């Protein structure tokens, strides 16, 4: 489609790549339209990973495009060199290509011709994607020779593109996978003697496995490549971000697993392991009971079966998926040290070494019980002591590897946890140009549309370049013409600065033309409000741009910067303008001071001295130093390094981790309340059991009628039935047992009572007791000696609930929020953005438990017989907690109790 020259702009001295359509193709309307379309498509994209178009020109009657000069080498040249590309380098290049394609897709451009020859290597080793002008047909792009040399685009085209069907971004992802396969193996995935053979193989054959050509390629990377090249688009990655995330682990060595999150993952896995142990043990019990050999099965078999189940789960989860549920949730992955990827044999060895103390102690349990005079619980404690000994080898220098990891050649690495929220671009509606009298109609070939704003140098206008169909910014140098922009500024190509396009002088006024970033001024974003993820994103970009070691700073250290120079473009990126926009006066300060001023403005507005209320705990120290609330950083470089170190930590609470924390806290609270209530009930039951047995013995006495009722006359039929009713009531727990303390005659009476009144109701028992009450008193006994109402359970229940609320307040006071918040990496802040005090945390726990306290007070005020009121109260209590749970899930950072207490949850 053209010839590309390295050229120099005579006016600016900038070196560019100049693509000229040959004269023989200029006469073709189709070729000319395709050439213009390529220019328009590429001009719509502004990203560091895409070749940037500076302008459209005409050279000796032929159309031409001036583009960013990226260097003369492409990825195709590396493939043709027949030298193996390092795996990490190849994956890093593909990630940069994906970044460029994602930026193009945001601009509404689908490349449709991703291949190694369109990926350019710059002098700095970075890759840029170019050539956005592919037509819908493939014939013109095929360069076929009889020797079967390089064929061109069809080698990397997707099956649906070959068939001529409608395509989407997944077609580009297929081409990226094919390009990565070629980089890894040194040869395109499909080849042939002619075009028909190549296309037939693309449509009918599965992509070859890269490991069959280069065995050192990790299996996990091979799976990523094959997924990207799946023939069915639905089986490929959904978008560029998914493909990039799958490749990220192959370009850099992941840090060791965070020890706090690793502990939380272990607790979650331990709970799951106990559940698996119980399920397998109960299943084995049922199986042995049905076989009739349960008595012959030793108890150790239950433990060993549970250990075997836990071993299988660990080996399968960590070997096949790289993580158990707890590790997956907390961003932990088990990988082999040698390859950096999961390995089933090593995961199985790791699980076996870890479980060996439990199995060994269980096998030696009989000998341990016979050999020791200590508690029988010692055999259960020994394995956990050995596991603690395993942790003695944890050192920073060995990547915090325990004994079972050293023995198996594995390590635990840290990846972003599932609850780490991805940074969201903050966008603002683009500022519209305002018409103004006295503006030129055109500047060079650009049509002026209006004024974006005023600068100290003159009006900043927006215009349209009809040749490329894009809008541009035009800075008029009216007030202070000054010298032209230097060569460094004109060649600047960074996302944080506007790209310079060209200059034009007309009627003594110099005009500098820049790309149009869209978006709005930084002050507009401040008025709309910023959360911490957006604040962090802007601060990181600004610190990188102001860094003294950054060539893009271009004079900032000498003249300072002001807030009116900050701009947020249409994609949410922060740009630093050359001149401030506004009416002034402008307060320019040195870069380090400006970084702190910007941080304070984003946190709480101009002149504020506080911290944002949603600031994570781990970022507080850095933000205090930047905002001037602590020791200041020595340079912008130091501040940028500190901000960059926060990128691997969560910026905000995600709904998934909040749901998990709420579920864990609810389950733990329910179990705690259950055990408390059970303990109270057992205490009450044990206290009344002896009374029940004594009453039963009195009622079973053979001389009951003469000894007890002698003063009230003989026992008639009604008295006997009343006594049998009470006997049946007290005999229920021992209905199937022989009472050694009762005489034969008494046993017969108990059997008769159970036969005549098998299941007496509470009302029947009360009526029977009232029937015998006068005669019992006449016999010298109190009514309580033969009957007492069922114990009142409201007392134990109320005491349990109050004890739970008190325990929650104590834990909240000691741990600043509670155990579940600490385990799941959450912290609490107050309205001022400061870390909440212990008393406030305890008050928050009291507010959370206040419905329980109200329920207990209602129990105490209700009469004993108000069972009809107790059920509605319990339903109301559950409804209140249910609404609170729904609210907390809908608003993870501020539940109803947080609103009342004036607190907010943030990442720890």
**CB contact at 8 A, 70 and 149:** no
Could you tell me which residues are beta bridge partners of residue 336? Answer: 410
The whole-angstrom separation of Cα 651 and Cα 649 is 6
The whole-angstrom separation of Cα 247 and Cα 127 is 16
| Distances from the Cα of 15 to the Cα of 50, 131, 676, angstroms | 17, 19, 79
The whole-angstrom separation of Cα 37 and Cα 411 is 51
Phi/psi of residue 268, each to 5°? -65, -45
Q: Which of 245, 423, 235, 263 is nearest to 330 (CA)?
A: 263
| Distances from the Cα of 616 to the Cα of 20, 246, 531, 841, angstroms | 54, 27, 11, 17
Which residues have a Cβ under 8 Å from the Cβ of 151 and sit 6 or more positions away? 142, 143, 144, 191, 192, 195, 198
Rg (CA), the chain: 39
**CB contact at 8 A, 601 and 563:** yes
Sheet-wide strand order for 127-129: 73-74, 119-121, 127-129
> Pseudo-torsion of CA 636, 637, 638, 639, nearest 10°?
50
How many other CB atoms sit within 10 Å of the CB of residue 377?
Answer: 8
The whole-angstrom separation of Cα 52 and Cα 45 is 7
Phi/psi of residue 110, each to 5°? -105, 125
Phi-psi group of 491: left, alpha or beta (phi > 0 → left; psi -120 to 50 → alpha; rest → beta) = alpha
Which residues have a Cβ under 8 Å from the Cβ of 533 and sit 6 or more positions away? 421, 423, 424, 651, 652
Determine how β-strand 442-443 pairs with β-strand 903-907: unpaired
Which residues have a Cβ under 8 Å from the Cβ of 871 and sit 6 or more positions away? none
3-state helix, strand, coil in the chain (%, to 5): 55, 10, 35
Q: Which of 565, 607, 604, 611 is nearest to 588 (CA)?
A: 565
The whole-angstrom separation of Cα 762 and Cα 772 is 16
Length of the chain equals: 908
Which residues have a Cβ under 8 Å from the Cβ of 901 and sit 6 or more positions away? 840, 843, 844, 847
Full DSSP string of 403-440: HHHHHHTEEEEE---TT-PPPPPP--PPPPPBP-TT--
**CB contact at 8 A, 198 and 192:** yes
The whole-angstrom separation of Cα 679 and Cα 740 is 29
3-state DSSP assignment of residue 654:
coil
The whole-angstrom separation of Cα 638 and Cα 546 is 11
**CB contact at 8 A, 41 and 53:** no
**CB contact at 8 A, 251 and 113:** no
The whole-angstrom separation of Cα 896 and Cα 881 is 10
Active centre residues (catalytic): 113
> How large is the angle between the packed helices 532-546 and 591-604, nearest 10 degrees?
170
| E-state strands within 790-896 | 826-830
**CB contact at 8 A, 362 and 219:** no
């Amino acid at each position: 489609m053209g010839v590309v020259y390295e050229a120099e702009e005579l006016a600016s001295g900038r070196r560019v790549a100049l693509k000229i359509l040959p004269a023989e193709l200029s006469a073709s309307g189709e070729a000319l339209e395709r050439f213009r379309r390529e220019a328009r498509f590429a001009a719509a994209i502004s990203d560091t990973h895409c070749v940037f178009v500076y302008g459209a020109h005409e050279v000796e009657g032929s159309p031409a495009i001036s583009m960013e000069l990226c260097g003369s080498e492409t990825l195709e040249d590396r493939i043709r060199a027949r030298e193996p590309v390092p795996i990490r380098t190849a994956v890093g290049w593909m990630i940069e290509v994906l970044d460029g394609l994602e930026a193009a897709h945001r601009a509404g451009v689908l490349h449709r011709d991703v291949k190694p020859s369109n990926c350019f290597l710059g002098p700095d080793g970075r890759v840029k994607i170019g050539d956005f002008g592919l037509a819908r047909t493939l014939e013109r792009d095929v360069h076929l020779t009889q020797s079967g040399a390089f064929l061109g685009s069809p080698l990397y085209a997707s099956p649906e593109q070959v068939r001529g069907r409608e395509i989407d971004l997944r077609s580009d992802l297929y081409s990226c996978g094919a390009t990565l396969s070629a980089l890894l193996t040194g040869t395109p995935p499909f080849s042939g003697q002619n075009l028909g053979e190549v296309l037939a193989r693309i449509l009918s054959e599965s992509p070859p496995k890269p490991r069959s050509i280069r065995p050192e390629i990790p299996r996990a990377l091979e799976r990523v490549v094959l997924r990207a090249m799946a023939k069915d688009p639905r089986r490929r990655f959904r978008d560029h971000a998914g493909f990039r995330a799958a490749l990220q682990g192959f370009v850099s060595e992941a840090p060791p697993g965070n020890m706090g999150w690793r502990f939380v993952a272990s607790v979650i896995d331990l709970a799951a392991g106990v559940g698996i142990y119980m399920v397998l043990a109960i299943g084995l019990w049922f199986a042995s009971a049905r076989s009739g050999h349960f008595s012959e099965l030793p108890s150790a078999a239950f433990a060993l079966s549970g250990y075997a189940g836990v071993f299988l789960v660990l080996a399968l989860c960590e070997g096949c998926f790289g993580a158990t549920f707890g590790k997956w949730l907390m961003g932990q992955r088990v990988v082999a040290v040698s390859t950096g990827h999961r390995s089933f044999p090593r995961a199985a060895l790791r699980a076996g070494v870890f479980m060996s103390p439990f199995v060994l102690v269980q096998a030696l349990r009989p000998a341990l019980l016979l050999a020791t005079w200590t508690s029988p619980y010692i055999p259960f404690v020994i394995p956990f002591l050995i596991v603690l000994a395993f942790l003695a080898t944890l050192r920073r220098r060995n990547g915090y590897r325990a004994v079972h990891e050293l023995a198996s050649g594995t390590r635990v690495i840290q990846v972003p946890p599932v609850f780490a929220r991805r940074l969201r671009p903050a966008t603002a509606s683009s500022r519209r140009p305002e018409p103004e009298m006295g503006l030129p109609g055109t500047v060079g070939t650009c049509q002026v549309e209006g004024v974006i704003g005023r600068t100290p140098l003159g009006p900043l206008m927006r215009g349209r370049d009809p040749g490329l169909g894009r809008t541009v910014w035009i800075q008029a140098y009216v007030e202070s013409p000054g010298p032209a922009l230097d060569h460094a500024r004109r060649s600047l190509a960074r996302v944080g600065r506007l790209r310079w396009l060209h200059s034009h002088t007309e009627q003594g006024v110099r005009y500098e033309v820049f790309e149009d970033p869209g978006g709005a001024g930084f002050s507009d974003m401040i008025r709309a409000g910023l959360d911490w993820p957006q604040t962090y994103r802007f601060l990181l970009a600004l610190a990188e741009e102001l860094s003294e070691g950054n060539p893009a700073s271009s004079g900032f250290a000498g003249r300072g910067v002001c807030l009116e120079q900050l701009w947020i473009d249409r994609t949410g990126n922060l740009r630093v303008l050359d001149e401030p926009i506004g009416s002034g006066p402008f307060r320019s300060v040195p870069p380090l001071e400006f970084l702190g001023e910007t941080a304070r403005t984003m946190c709480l507005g101009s002149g504020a001295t506080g911290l944002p209320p949603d600031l994570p705990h781990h970022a507080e120290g850095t933000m205090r130093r930047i905002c001037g609330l602590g020791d200041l950083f020595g340079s912008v470089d130091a501040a940028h390094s500190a901000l960059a170190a926060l990128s691997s930590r969560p910026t905000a609470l995600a709904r998934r981790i909040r749901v998990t924390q709420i579920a864990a806290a609810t389950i733990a609270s329910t179990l705690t309340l259950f055990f408390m209530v059970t303990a109270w009930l057992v205490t009450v039951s044990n206290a009344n059991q002896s009374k029940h047995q004594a009453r039963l013995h009195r009622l079973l006495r053979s001389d009951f009628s003469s000894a007890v009722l002698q003063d009230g006359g003989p026992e008639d039929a009604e008295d006997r039935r009343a006594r049998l009713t009470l006997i049946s009531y007290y005999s229920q727990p021992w209905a199937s047992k022989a009472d050694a303390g009762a005489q034969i005659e008494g046993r017969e009476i108990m059997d008769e009572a159970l036969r005549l009144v098998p299941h007496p109701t509470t009302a029947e028992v009360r009526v029977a007791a009232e029937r015998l009450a006068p005669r019992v008193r006449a016999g010298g006994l109190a009514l309580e000696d033969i009957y007492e109402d069922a114990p009142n359970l409201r007392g134990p229940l109320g005491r349990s609930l109050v004890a739970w609320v008190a325990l929650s307040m104590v834990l909240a006071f000691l741990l600043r929020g509670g155990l579940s918040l600490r385990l799941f990496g959450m912290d609490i802040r107050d309205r001022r953005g400061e870390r909440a005090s212990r008393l406030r945390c305890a008050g928050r726990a009291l507010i959370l438990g206040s419905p329980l306290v109200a329920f207990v007070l209602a129990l105490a005020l209700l009469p004993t017989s108000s069972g009809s009121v107790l059920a509605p109260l319990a339903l109301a209590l559950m409804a209140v907690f249910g609404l609170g749970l729904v609210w907390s899930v809908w608003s993870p950072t501020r539940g109803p109790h947080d609103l009342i207490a004036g607190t907010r949850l943030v990442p720890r």
